[in-house]
Structure 1
Amino acid sequence: MAELINILLRLALYGDLLLLFGVALFALYSGHASLRFSPLLRGLALLGALLSVAGLVLMTRAMSGETEFAALWPHLQMMLLETEVGLAWALRMLALMVVLIRPGWAIASIAGAVALASLAWSGHGAMDEGSLRFWHFLSDILHLLAAGAWLGAMLALVLLARGRVDEARIRLLTHAVKRFEWVGAAIVLTLSITGVVNYLFIVGPRLDDVLLGAYGMLLAIKVLLFAGMLVLAALNRFHLGPALERSIRDGQHVIAANALRRSVLLELGMALLIVALVAWLGTLSPDAG
């Protein structure tokens, strides 16, 4: 039961911080005054802080074996003051406080990136040493940031496509989709490269028995879902995006917006499944059977 709670907490925290950074970044590079995401960013920052507190308490309880708060408190202090995980946690909380106080796009993007990057210290990279540790952390952080940029953009596009659809909304949506095109290409390239690099860091240059275990099966499902997202992204880029532009001329606003929203919702759902798999994979060893 404790392991399931740990996985669910990791899933919620990963999803929250990925969206926090991604939505703020999307608002920044879209550069449109109509994108009012400040309440959403504040809500995500608050939720992220609460989940971080719960995660730290759960981790400390698991490591110390203590259940009473009075007995747990010294262990919490030691975790915060004497470990890298505690330092990363404190930095994350500071970044989330910044977003709560000043949820401007540029500030929230930087603070969201810091909060999201802090999750790397809870991953497999923390087990490495020396220069290998540095490069593994760098790859993990870039992977997290790219994933956050993709998830946040999808949520932002869904929010933009909902509600009353008129020509002004379609022009805003078309502009946002166009801005995302070059960002999306960089995201896919970064995710692909860092995904392979992280596999080599964690597993090494082998497939054989790894793919037959629980870790390998979950990783294979993750790769298949990522491939499915690439197909949907290509559909959005080469079909649904141009359809939005045509709808400005022919007046078929609702049809074009609904088609894009359905596609992006499906893509977002697949992305959240990948996040769930990542949360699970983070609790397993590559040699898990």
Structure 2
Amino acid sequence: MSDSLNVVLRFALYLDLMLLFGLAVFGLYSFRGKERVSGAVLHFGSLLPGIAAVGVFLSIATFIVMAKNMSGASDWAELRPHLEMMLYETEIGYSWVTRMISLAAVIFVASQSARWPTWSLGVATLAGGIALSTLAWTGHGAMDEGTQRFWHFTADILHLLAAGGWIGALAAFGLMLSIRRSNSEQLVRVLSRALKGFETAGAFIVGTIIVTGIANYLFIVGPTLLEVLTSTYGVLLLLKILLFGCMIGLATLNRFYLSPSLERSVEAGEYSLAATALRKSVLIESTCAVVIVCLVAWLGTLSPSIDMAQG
């Protein structure tokens, strides 16, 4: 039960922090001027503080469950000294404190979005990126030493940030496609421009995920393939790669067919069918992304070497 709870909490925390960073950075590179004001297109003033607040709760719950699993404590009196030791004497504790400070910063600055939209999104992006990066200290890289530890952490952090950028963009597109307002045509024009602008960012994100994903595999498993495929770790990893391939396929469909179709439809004044098709594609792509994050949360709790030996 504790292992399952750990995976569920890790999944929720990963998804939450990826959304936090991804939505904030999306607002910076996709919107212009007053479009960044909360409520103009997206409600950053409530979305980002709300997501950050959920991140605070999930971080506390995850830290407690982690300490309980590591110590085997059965009650609070027994667990408390282990919590204090982890908090004050371990890198996991230091990274947790850093995350909490970063989330508090997001809650404060994002609530000022109506007054300082660009500034608040910039700080939220930085603080959200730091909060997301701290998850690397709960992964396999924390077990490495020396130079390999540095490069493993670097790959982990870049992988997390790239994934967060993609998931945040999908969430933003989904929210924009669900908007029903009197000025919906203007919002669809903003959406069409944002989709076109995401082409460069999307290519960079996919490239980063592929390169850092390969690096992480080599750091964790090594230059081997056949042995890992017979293990639970390998099966989950293969499923993750297949879903990632589906996401790339859907992103390609959006890039070369659905997005241009929406752009043409907006110019023609009838965009409902194109928007509906794009909405379905984004929904499927988002579902794949959520399942991948769930698999990542599960994979982070497995030891490939032990798993392969048992397999």
- The answer, yes or no, to whether TM exceeds 0.5 is yes
| Residue of structure 1 equivalent to 2:247 | 229
Q: Do residues 255 (structure 1) and 273 (structure 2) align?
A: yes
Normalising by structure 1, report the TM-score: 0.98
Whether 1:18 aligns to 2:18 is: yes
Deviations 1:91-124 (A, max 9, x none): 0000000011111211110001000000000000
Which of 102, 125, 129 lines up with 1:95 in the alignment? 102
The gaps in structure 1 that reach 5 residues or longer are: none
Match of 2:72 among 34, 54, 65: 65
Give the C-alpha shift of residue 84 in structure 1. Answer: 0.1
Any idea what SS the aligned residue of 2:217 has? helix
User: CA–CA distance in 2 between the matches of 1:89 and 1:66?
Assistant: 20
How many angstroms does 1:189 deviate by?
0.3
Distance, in Å, in 2 between the alignment partners of 1:249 and 1:177 is 15
> Counterpart in 1 of 2:293?
275
Q: Which residue of structure 1 lines up, in the alignment, with residue 133 of structure 2?
A: 117
The residue identity in structure 1 corresponding to 2:167 is L
Cα displacement string for residues 42-89 of structure 1 (whole angstroms, at most 9, x for unaligned residues)? 111000000000011111111122232222222111111100000000
CA distance in 1, matches of 2:79, 2:301: 23
Q: Which residue of the partner structure matches residue 77 of structure 1?
A: 84
Aligned residue number for residue 198 of structure 1: 216
- 2:58 is aligned to 51
Residues 247-286 of structure 1 deviation map (CA, whole Å, 9 limit, x = unaligned): 1222222111111111111101000000000001001111
Question: Separation in 2 of the partners of 1:164 and 1:49?
Answer: 31
Counterpart residue number, 2:29? 29
Residue type matched to 2:230 in 1?
L
How many residues get paired? 289
Counterpart amino acid of residue 152 in structure 1 = G
Structure 2 partner of 1:8? 8
Return the alpha-carbon distance in structure 2 between the equivalents of residues 164 and 44 of structure 1.
Answer: 23
Provide Cα deviations, 1:150-171, integer angstroms capped at 9, x if missing partner: 0000000010111327421221
Q: Name 1:284's counterpart in structure 2.
A: 302
* TM-score (normalised: structure 2): 0.91
The one-letter code of the counterpart of 1:114 is I
Computed over aligned residues only, the root mean square deviation of the Cα atoms, in angstroms, reads 1.0
Structure 2 unaligned residues grouped into runs of 5+: 111-119
2:116 aligned partner? none
1:264 paired residue among 256, 262, 282: 282
Aligned to 1:150: 166
Query: What CA distance in whole angstroms lies between the structure 1 residues aligned with 2:155 and 2:285?
Result: 24
* 1:121-140 matched pairs, under 5 angstroms: 121-140=137-156
- Single out whichever of 157-166 and 19-28 deviates more from structure 2: 157-166
